[in-house]
């Protein structure tokens, strides 16, 4: 406790994302600003207008999931279970914590949609022959419930579907459960695996995706360009990240390694448009200020902002306006991970929370990959090389369709 407030420690982290299948591999890729976008053969074969995406590199599933279980679950659930296993191994054991005091909070934007799409294509004409596991495989809450079942956790088991803010909301709400005394430990994060023909075609029809790199001679590595004057949309990706949150005093008592602390969280809604952000960034800025107030920090305490930075014209512009409203002329340096990872929808906020925690603890801000001509002006974007800002709190932002705004303040120990 600090001044009567329950502190929330991060004692475990696990990642399965385009930048890497471990925390350190992900950090190295992001720090080196190496884009992961590539042409996906299945999308090219389907002759879709956009054929590039950011996929999780191949890894061995066997240490994590048996073949029988793998057939019964969606790729979304599988990625979440793998990241969770790594996070729990990293955290070590929390001996003496009752199962009903350990919760699971997971964010996902599309849930089991990939499996539903596959079933519809394969069995649409003969639905009576669809696989028996179709319903539990495609439920949005399957990742969280499968995780709770695997480890016997019996605290709150909740799924957040707030579009691209899902992972951030899951982490923030899980931290609140610990603060309010409802949980001692929370296994939380976000996941999505939306790189399918239907989802890709849908986003392409909206002109939300970057068309750069899909045609002959194009370079996929240059497609995701957060806050760049030449940006033309985001690159869709897949991935999962899981954090183990723990009551600070319990973590200290058992001698756990503490990666950092969730010190602030807030969520607001633009109430403006189903896909476009409020142009003036006013509600997003309010979310930033509320998260800082929750952390008990002035804007000047923030070492840098890990921005949502989708690489779309409207979202980047609105986020820049929000940052100006929140910080004024003294805005801190800004980075955006999606230049490397692409947009993982519900997984993005969780992966970015892991990167933000590492940045806070190591004092290094990763550069924005591929961006060369910053726009709009006024942002202090970290470009070309990492920047040393010292060990300071980080504001991590997420904004989703429907006007969903969510912000976390993550601090070093």
138, 192, 199: which is closest to 170 by C-alpha? 192
Give me 412's structure tokens. Answer: 């070093």
What is the DSSP pairing of strand 102-107 with strand 185-192? Answer: parallel
Q: What count of other Cβ atoms lies within 10 Å of the Cβ of residue 328?
A: 9
- Tally the C-alpha atoms within 13 A of residue 38's C-alpha that lie toward its C-beta: 11
Angle between helices 75-91 and 113-123 (to 10 degrees): 150
Per annotation, catalytic residue among 105, 259, 304, 343: 343
Residue appearing with tokens 């919760």: 103
Per annotation, catalytic residue among 164, 287, 326, 407: 164
Q: Return the beta strands (E) in 57-108 as ranges.
A: 102-107
Residue appearing with tokens 């495609």: 138
Q: For this structure, is 343 an active site residue?
A: yes
| Rg value, the chain, Cα | 20
Judge contact between 228 and 317, C-beta under 8 A.
no
Q: What is the Cα–Cα distance from 140 to 243, expressed in whole angstroms? A: 19
Residue appearing with tokens 């475990």: 12
Q: What is the Cα–Cα distance from 170 to 162, expressed in whole angstroms? A: 9
299, 278, 308: which is closest to 402 by C-alpha? 278
Q: What is the Cα–Cα distance from 143 to 149, expressed in whole angstroms? A: 10
Q: For this structure, is 308 an active site residue?
A: yes
Buried b / exposed e along 16-41 (16+ C-beta atoms within 10 A): bbbbbbbbeebbebbbebebbbbebe
Q: What is the Cα–Cα distance from 285 to 87, expressed in whole angstroms? A: 32
Q: What count of other Cβ atoms lies within 10 Å of the Cβ of residue 288?
A: 27
Q: Most distant CA pair in the chain: distance in Å?
A: 63
Q: What is the Cα–Cα distance from 281 to 165, expressed in whole angstroms? A: 16
Per annotation, catalytic residue among 287, 308, 326, 407: 308
88, 93, 100, 106: which is closest to 188 by C-alpha? 106
| Active centre residues (catalytic) | 164, 308, 343
């Amino acid at each position: 406790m600090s001044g009567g407030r329950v502190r929330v420690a991060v004692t475990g982290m696990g990642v399965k994302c385009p930048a890497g299948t471990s925390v350190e591999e992900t950090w190295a890729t992001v720090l080196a600003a190496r884009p992961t976008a590539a042409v996906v053969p299945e999308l090219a074969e389907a002759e879709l207008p956009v054929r590039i995406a950011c996929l999780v590199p191949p890894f061995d599933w066997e240490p994590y999931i048996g073949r029988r279980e793998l057939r019964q679950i969606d790729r979304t659930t599988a990625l979440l279970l793998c990241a969770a296993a790594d996070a729990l191994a990293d955290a070590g054991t929390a001996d003496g914590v009752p199962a009903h005091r350990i919760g699971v909070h997971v964010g996902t934007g599309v849930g089991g949609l990939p499996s539903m799409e596959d079933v519809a294509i394969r069995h649409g004409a003969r639905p009576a022959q669809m696989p028996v596991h179709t319903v539990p495989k495609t439920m949005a809450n399957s990742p969280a419930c499968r995780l709770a079942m695997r480890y016997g956790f019996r605290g709150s088991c909740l799924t957040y579907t707030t579009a691209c803010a899902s992972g951030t909301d899951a982490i923030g709400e899980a931290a609140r459960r610990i603060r309010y005394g409802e949980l001692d430990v929370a296994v939380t994060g976000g996941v999505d695996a939306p790189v399918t023909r239907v989802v890709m075609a849908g986003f392409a029809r909206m002109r939300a995706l970057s068309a750069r790199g899909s045609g002959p001679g194009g370079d996929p590595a240059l497609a995701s360009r957060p806050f760049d004057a030449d940006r033309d949309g985001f690159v869709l990706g897949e991935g999962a990240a899981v954090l183990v949150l723990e009551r600070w005093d319990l973590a200290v008592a058992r001698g756990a390694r503490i990666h950092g602390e969730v010190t602030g969280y807030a969520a607001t809604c633009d109430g403006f448009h189903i896909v476009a952000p409020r142009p003036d960034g006013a509600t997003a800025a309010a979310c930033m200020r509320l998260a800082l107030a929750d952390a008990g920090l002035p804007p000047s305490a923030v070492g840098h902002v890990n921005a949502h930075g989708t690489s779309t014209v409207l979202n980047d512009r609105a986020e820049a306006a929000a940052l100006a409203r929140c910080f004024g002329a003294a805005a801190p340096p800004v980075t955006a991970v999606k230049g490397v990872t692409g947009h993982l929808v519900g997984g993005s906020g969780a992966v970015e929370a892991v990167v933000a925690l590492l940045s806070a603890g190591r004092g290094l801000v990763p550069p924005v990959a591929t961006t060369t001509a910053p726009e709009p002006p006024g942002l202090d974007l970290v470009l070309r090389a990492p920047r040393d800002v010292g060990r300071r709190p980080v504001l991590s932002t997420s904004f989703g369709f429907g006007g969903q705004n969510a912000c976390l303040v993550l601090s070093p120990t």
